[in-house]
Structure 1
């Protein structure tokens, strides 16, 4: 256990620092080599082509841009808001300074480019391109104005079950898409799930992800890691399901899973050695409790698949109420309103006559009449 904790501390203390980039040139993916591997882990029983990536320069899609406000710190790299000076588009840009990061961080950066270039889904952050100016590497990404789930929890506190239900459905849709493509995210947590202004969740930060094979390595964030990951046993898509359960707990409590421990080492010990999930809040629905139990089984193969979880009773949406829409009162409706007698005798007769007169005047207006002029 001690060596695992040492590796964790070494891995998660890395930081990257970025400066303003002036004249970026593009990095695009060129697939130079393909190897066929047989991937039978976690129910994948078909051959899958693992793509190895190299980088070459091409004209950049975002040619002229300005860096804006700081948005957050990823597992590697710093994220800023960006503004396209030619199109006016607002985007997010993740940057690392090449000479201030180690080889592992650079590999993670390239890995994220590789994975994002393969993906197109409404519940996954959209990839616009990447640049290299010789000093900085930058990834241009979709900007979601709502921030991450972690930021939302920090601002507004724990979420209601109805919001958790909606967010969880979105996350699962993204995971289903990833797992169908034989991609494992390996770092599902609130900070890596962004929310747009419509309330749509999108998976982000693919630097730890893995394509088409099982893993025995430590990747992710400790409190959200599945037991098999911390114990460096075989891990796969079921490890993402454990992390999803941890995100649901995070949304319920506005705290990290195992957040009741003062010492993070206690959390690591509990995850890796105790065959029990993080504690659940008491006042939750039976359906939500059942959903958490499906995600947080100690044995990976006992956890439900993402597609199965989407059909869980907790996520079945009831008939939605009609959304509030802007409406205009038609003249016929005004006539009906004018015909309704006033029952409130406390209103003076003169005032009631004035109200009738107003409705009469409104009903006589010809909306859209080109011959009508207002002085």
Structure 2
């Protein structure tokens, strides 16, 4: 397929996302990285190509191109004109009303149900990874996703995601299964309701990770949410993974049953320059990569590795955008700074 690469519309831990157009002028998204470092992107391609859900960003193919004689691996995906839920939160002044939260949450659960039914765990559910399409929200960025059979179940195994959204058992290095995605859904609801990460009052990464994994503390629920909303969060955020609701059980919860379709407010034209200007990421902010091996480490050492700084950038617990995101493909394990 002939296509033309357009502006940068996002930058992940291991690839850059561009707006692209076909020869006929139809828009789609292209996620690209150097072929030599494309293991995670190829893993995402293999997973996306097996999925078919209106609530997961759709797969459109892949190819290899050349940039100054450097081979590039390109993953072709559905284009979501509304950006991410994080963008929507900012456009709404820092939080969303409950009717929109209910609708978004229902659609996220539908996408997760499809993933879990295919024995896949997303491992990095957060508002920045949920895309807003013309007809609803869709789960994106499956670079951390893994088959349930391939996850480690013992302490010290590799795990993936953004620390502030990790479930207690993931921080402790015990397991990362379906229940970890459910915990992250609860964190996303809090983020949509408050515009903040789930632990905004903690400003030290080490103590924050200890609090998530070992303290027994529970997350503070947004006070203005309805009783149904608070109960929904309570069953998502049980510290014991075995006591959390499954996604299928959550889909029957009153908080998301009979939700009204949200109003469309996303730009639908690729010529909307103000929208693209708000999404374009400067080329001067590349991600920094660090390699980590958690096998056999003590809990404290695992947490120190999690928040280990690069020479030029310390992680910031308050601003989720500066958090270290841990990516784990089927072959490589690496630490990426978002």
Q: Is residue 2:110 matched to residue 1:110?
A: no
TM-score normalised according to structure 2 size = 0.71
153-162 or 163-172, which deviates more: 153-162
Of residues 118, 127, 151, the one that matches 1:190 is: 127
Change (3 A) 1:286 1:107: same
Instruction: Report what 2:207 is aligned to.
Output: 266
Q: Is residue 2:160 matched to residue 1:219?
A: yes
Instruction: Report what 1:143 is aligned to.
Output: 79
Instruction: Report what 1:317 is aligned to.
Output: 258
3-state SS of 2:255 partner: helix
Matched-pair contact (CA < 8 Å) for 1:82–1:92: yes
Matched-pair contact (CA < 8 Å) for 2:28–2:78: yes
| Alpha-carbon distance in 1 for matches of 2:130, 2:107 | 10
Change (3 A) 1:319 1:221: closer
Instruction: Report what 1:355 is aligned to.
Output: none
Shift of 1:319: 7.8
Change (3 A) 1:319 1:81: closer
Instruction: Report what 2:189 is aligned to.
Output: 248
3-state SS of 2:54 partner: coil
Shift of 1:208: 0.7
Change (3 A) 1:195 1:319: closer
1 or 2 for the larger relative contact order (CA 8 Å, sep ≥6)? 2
Shift of 1:275: 1.7
Matched-pair contact (CA < 8 Å) for 1:217–1:229: no
| Alpha-carbon distance in 1 for matches of 2:148, 2:162 | 21
1:44-83 to 2 correspondences below 5 Å: 63-83=1-21
Shift of 1:177: 0.9
Higher Cα Rg: structure 1 or 2?
1
3-state SS of 1:66 partner: strand
Instruction: Report what 2:249 is aligned to.
Output: 308
TM-score normalised according to structure 1 size = 0.64
Cα RMSD, aligned residues only: 1.9
Of residues 108, 113, 118, the one that matches 1:171 is: 108
Matched-pair contact (CA < 8 Å) for 2:148–2:177: no
| Alpha-carbon distance in 2 for matches of 1:265, 1:142 | 38
Q: Is residue 2:117 matched to residue 1:180?
A: yes
| Alpha-carbon distance in 1 for matches of 2:41, 2:259 | 41
Shift of 1:278: 2.2
Any gaps of 5 or more consecutive residues in structure 2? 265-338
Instruction: Report what 1:53 is aligned to.
Output: none
Shift of 1:318: 6.3
Shift of 1:268: 1.6
Q: 1:284-314: per-residue Cα shift (whole Å, max 9, x none)?
A: 2111000001100111010000010011111
Q: 1:106-155: per-residue Cα shift (whole Å, max 9, x none)?
A: 32111101100100110000000111135211111000111111121223
Of residues 261, 278, 286, the one that matches 2:227 is: 286
Shift of 1:267: 2.4
| Alpha-carbon distance in 2 for matches of 1:222, 1:245 | 14
Instruction: Report what 2:99 is aligned to.
Output: 162
Q: Is residue 2:27 matched to residue 1:90?
A: yes
Of residues 57, 60, 70, the one that matches 1:128 is: 60
3-state SS of 1:128 partner: strand
3-state SS of 1:244 partner: helix
| Alpha-carbon distance in 2 for matches of 1:256, 1:320 | 26
3-state SS of 2:180 partner: helix
Change (3 A) 1:128 1:256: same
Matched-pair contact (CA < 8 Å) for 1:123–1:174: yes
| Alpha-carbon distance in 1 for matches of 2:51, 2:190 | 27
